[in-house]
């Protein structure tokens, strides 16, 4: 990576750890038995699930598989 400014490794590490924690927080709230699921919303697009949302139960769960593919829903 080319840069003209000096890298602040402590700041970069702090930012990375904060971003990692923020990304993992929503995952920790999901049901354990759905670990690894890909959630698809009513419009057929991937969504970030919120287990506290009234729409959570209506999301389509796509469980990955070896040599699987991401589904494309056509309406």
Tell me the per-residue pLDDT of 10-61, one tens digit each, with 9 for 90 and over: 999 999 999 999 988 888 899 999 988 899 999 999 999 999 999 999 999 9
The reported pLDDT for the residue numbered 40 is 94
Number of domains the chain contains: 1
The answer to whether residue 54 is domain-embedded is yes
Assess if residue 67 is contained within a domain.
yes
Q: What residue numbers bound the domain in which 43 lies? A: 33-75
Q: Is position 44 within any domain?
A: yes
Within a domain: residue 61? yes
Residue 47 lies in a domain: yes
Q: DSSP labels for 26-75? A: HHHTS-GGGTTEEEE-TTSSB----TTSTTGGGSEEEE--TT--------
pLDDT value for 1: 64
């Amino acid at each position: 990576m080319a840069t003209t400014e000096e890298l602040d490794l402590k700041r970069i590490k702090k930012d990375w750890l904060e971003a990692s924690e923020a990304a993992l927080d929503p995952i920790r709230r999901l049901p354990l038995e759905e670990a690894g699921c890909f959630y698809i919303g009513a419009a057929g697009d991937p969504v970030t699930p919120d287990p506290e949302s009234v729409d959570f139960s209506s999301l389509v769960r796509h469980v990955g598989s070896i040599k699987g593919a991401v589904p494309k829903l056509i309406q």
